[in-house]
């Protein structure tokens, strides 16, 4: 039991760090789980990988509560109006991934996620491709003036375009935050605004994904006991605490630096995954 709790702690740390950095939380978690899998049923493992994100969502809500909560006597009418406009932009940005994710969710689980070799190969490819994408985009836009500095300047058209990029995140290894930030940078949105919009879009997307997986889990006749509940709670609590630190770090980082270092990290990790696949192939062939 202690070993499984320890795995949940490690997965919570990985989730809390990589959910907000543009390096793919799902890719990192799937790779760790492939090396040191949880001793649970496959159905619960799939549920855990999605629902653990709830802790990360809660961190965004806590840190940006004043920016996201439109009610309260202390808020001026203009401030409330601005918050409602922000939520409209978020909802518009969520539409593409909500539609495509709902249609392809089961197909991805039955194909990519069920075959470890295919899963790791897809992760490696996505890590490298989007790593190169970050480097190229940051260098192209290095000396260009931002068209959108703050989220107040973001239009509904911008929101929908960034949301279309978020659709790419259903491919393991892509990164939800990475795809949305990359889309924002292509629209010449400032790094700070792109990162914030990525955080805010995560709330309905990840809540919806968690709710859908929970409903499907029980609808298919699955249950879980105290052991599984403990693993899930530990993972969520750890991911919440780590996310609080990482979100603050990223917001401070992007004020002074570009996203290019994350691109190089992705490429390095992608190469490492390819090496890992090659070693597995050699062991299987021996």
Between CA 183 and CA 194 the distance in angstroms is: 8
Examine the pLDDT at 280 and tell me if it is beyond 80.
no
> 41-57: per-residue pLDDT in tens?
888 888 888 888 888 99
> 203-246: per-residue pLDDT in tens?
998 888 888 888 888 888 888 888 888 999 999 999 999 999 99
What number is the average pLDDT over the span 99-110?
76
Q: Domains of the chain: which residue ranges?
A: 2-285
Q: What is the pLDDT of residue 177?
A: 87
Q: What is the pLDDT of residue 189?
A: 93
- The pLDDT mean for the chain works out to 87
Task: Check residues 28 and 61 and name the one with the higher pLDDT.
Answer: 61
Q: What is the pLDDT of residue 113?
A: 67
List Cβ neighbours of 39 (8 Å cut-off, separation of 6 or more).
3, 4
Q: What is the pLDDT of residue 58?
A: 92
List Cβ neighbours of 147 (8 Å cut-off, separation of 6 or more).
153, 187, 188, 189
Residues forming beta bridges with residue 148, ordered by sequence position: 189
> 116-150: per-residue pLDDT in tens?
777 788 888 999 999 999 999 989 888 788 899 99
Q: What is the pLDDT of residue 135?
A: 94
Of 86-95, 107-116, 237-246, the least confident: 107-116
List Cβ neighbours of 176 (8 Å cut-off, separation of 6 or more).
19, 25, 166, 169, 198, 202, 205
Q: What is the pLDDT of residue 286?
A: 65
Q: What is the pLDDT of residue 101?
A: 79
Q: What is the pLDDT of residue 237?
A: 95
- Does residue 254 contact residue 192 with C-beta atoms inside 8 Å? yes
Q: What is the pLDDT of residue 144?
A: 83
List Cβ neighbours of 153 (8 Å cut-off, separation of 6 or more).
147, 193
Quote the percentage of the chain above a pLDDT of 90: 39
Of 13-22, 66-75, 277-286, the least confident: 277-286
> 143-201: per-residue pLDDT in tens?
788 899 999 999 999 999 999 999 888 888 888 888 999 999 989 999 999 999 999 99
Examine the pLDDT at 109 and tell me if it is beyond 80.
no
Between CA 202 and CA 29 the distance in angstroms is: 18
Q: Which residue's entry shows tokens 């709710």?
A: 211
Examine the pLDDT at 104 and tell me if it is beyond 80.
no
List Cβ neighbours of 7 (8 Å cut-off, separation of 6 or more).
36, 38, 231
């Amino acid at each position: 039991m202690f070993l499984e709790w320890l795995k949940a702690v490690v997965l919570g740390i990985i989730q809390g760090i990589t959910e907000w950095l543009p390096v793919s939380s799902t890719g990192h978690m799937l790779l760790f789980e492939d090396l040191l899998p949880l001793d649970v049923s496959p159905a619960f493992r799939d549920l855990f990988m999605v629902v653990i994100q709830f802790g990360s969502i809660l961190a965004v809500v806590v840190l940006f509560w004043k920016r996201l909560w439109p009610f309260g006597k202390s808020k001026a009418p203009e401030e409330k109006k601005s918050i409602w406009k922000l939520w409209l932009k978020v909802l518009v940005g969520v539409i593409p991934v909500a539609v495509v994710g709902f249609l392809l969710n089961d197909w991805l689980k039955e194909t990519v996620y069920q075959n470890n070799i295919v899963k790791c190969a897809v992760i490696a490819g996505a890590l490298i491709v989007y790593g190169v994408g970050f480097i190229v985009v940051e260098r192209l836009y290095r000396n260009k003036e931002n068209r959108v500095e703050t989220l107040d300047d973001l239009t509904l058209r911008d929101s929908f375009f960034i949301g279309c990029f978020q659709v790419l995140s259903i491919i393991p290894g892509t990164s939800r935050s990475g795809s949305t930030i990359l889309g924002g940078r292509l629209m010449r949105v400032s790094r700070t605004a792109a990162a914030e919009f990525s955080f805010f879009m995560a709330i309905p997307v990840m809540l919806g994904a968690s709710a859908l997986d929970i409903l499907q889990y029980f609808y298919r006749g699955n249950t879980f006991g105290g052991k599984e509940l403990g693993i899930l709670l530990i993972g969520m609590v750890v991911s919440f605490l780590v996310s609080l630190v990482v979100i603050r770090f990223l917001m401070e980082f992007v004020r002074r630096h570009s996203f290019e270092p994350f691109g190089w990290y992705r490429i390095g990790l992608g190469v490492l995954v390819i090496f890992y696949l090659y070693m597995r192939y050699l062991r299987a062939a021996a």
